[in-house]
């Protein structure tokens, strides 16, 4: 490693400089950057590469866990890998990733990350990352005037059930986590801590979304979603497949949306498009692992 290059945990005094890197690479606002760093502390979650005294590259390691063959393993979600534009193409991100990999290996923590583009998929593949988790996207179109809805990719139309008793009510982070863990629990389920769930709920609200309990015909479910351009975008739905379409259709109608874009586990039996979501350095991740509530 070059003498002038130093990698280590970040410092609270570097937050403004890290926000500069973030904004130049991801184009988020200073408010959102500070919002992130107010929860994920730089000295515990963010590795920083400095050149002299100047931070020029960074990545965050967000803790998670997953059961593999019945054994709970620690994971680190590698997030917000970024280098100042004027310092790119010098291998600094690679140095950071290698440093993070060594650190995680020493502590028997498995890394996982979500490439934001096809170009990054190739980049991480060259660094020894394999496809590790997939997601299924279901799209629905609602025709309230005719009382029907259709699933993209299917030529069939389905009747919207009438006289549905449905309510959206507040839900605590603790209740959401308990419902989530019970619903998705199986080998390959990637679990977030209560603190992380609290952050995901706050982040969803920051972007104008909602986290709620859905009371449908006396049963209680939950979802995290937001409305955009007349579309209900569901990031996660804790709803059984035998009723999920009926429930989300009525949630969309209730929120004045005529389309639904919903993310489900890749093992869902519903018709949809399956794509790779995450990559990891271990090729032994369980089939149909479930990673969700990653940060956008």
Q: What is the pLDDT of residues 90-116, one digit of tens each?
A: 999 999 999 999 999 999 999 999 998
User: What number of other Cβ atoms are within 10 A of residue 173's Cβ?
Assistant: 17
d(Cα 45, Cα 60) in Å, to the nearest integer? 5
Asked if pLDDT for residue 199 goes beyond 80, the answer is: yes
Class of domain 134-277: alpha beta
Asked if pLDDT for residue 144 goes beyond 60, the answer is: yes
For 86-113, b/e burial (b = at least 16 CB within 10 A) is eeeeeebbebbbebbbebbeeeebbbbb
**Same fold yes or no, 5-113 and 134-277:** yes
Residues in CB range of 236: below 8 A, 6 or more apart? 180, 223, 224, 263, 292, 293
The fold of 5-113 is Aminopeptidase (3.40.630)
Cα–Cα nearest to 17, from 53, 45, 61: 53
Encode pLDDT of 150-171 as tens digits.
Answer: 888 676 778 777 767 889 999 9
pLDDT at 42: 93
Query: Residue ranges per domain, the chain?
Result: 5-113, 134-277
Q: What is the pTM of this model?
A: 0.91
> Mean of the pLDDT values across residues 121-138?
92
Q: Please return the burial class of 221, using the count of CB atoms within 10 Å of its CB with bins 0-12, 13-18 and 19+.
A: buried
Helix-helix angle 194-206:30-39, to 10 degrees: 170
Is residue 16 within a helix (H) or strand (E), and if so which, with residue range? helix 15-26
């Amino acid at each position: 490693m070059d003498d002038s290059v130093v990698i280590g945990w970040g410092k609270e005094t570097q937050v403004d400089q890290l926000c500069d890197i973030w904004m130049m690479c991801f184009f988020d606002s200073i408010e959102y950057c500070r919002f992130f760093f107010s929860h994920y502390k730089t000295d515990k979650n963010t590795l920083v590469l400095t050149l002299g005294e100047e931070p020029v590259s960074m990545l965050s390691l967000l803790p998670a866990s997953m059961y593999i063959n019945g054994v709970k393993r620690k994971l680190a979600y590698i997030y917000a890998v970024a280098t100042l534009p004027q310092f790119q193409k010098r291998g600094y991100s690679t140095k950071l990733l290698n440093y993070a990999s060594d650190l995680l290996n020493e502590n028997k923590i498995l890394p996982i990350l979500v490439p934001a583009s096809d170009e990054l998929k190739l980049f991480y593949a060259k660094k020894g990352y394999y496809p590790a988790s997939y997601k299924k996207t279901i799209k629905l179109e609602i025709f309230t005037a005719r009382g029907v809805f259709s699933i993209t990719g299917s030529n069939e139309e389905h009747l919207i059930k009438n006289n549905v008793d449905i309510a959206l009510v507040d839900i605590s982070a603790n209740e959401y986590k308990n419902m989530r863990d019970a619903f998705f629990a199986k080998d390959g389920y990637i679990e977030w801590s209560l603190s992380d769930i609290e952050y995901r709920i706050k982040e969803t609200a920051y972007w104008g979304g909602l986290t709620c309990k859905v009371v449908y015909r006396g049963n209680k479910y939950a979802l995290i979603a937001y409305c955009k351009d007349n579309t209900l975008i569901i990031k996660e739905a804790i709803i059984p497949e035998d009723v999920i379409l009926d429930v989300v259709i009525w949630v969309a109608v209730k929120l004045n949306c005529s389309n639904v874009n919903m993310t489900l586990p890749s093992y869902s039996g519903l018709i949809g498009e399956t794509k790779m979501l995450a990559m990891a350095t271990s090729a032994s991740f369980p089939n149909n692992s479930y990673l969700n509530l990653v940060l956008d």
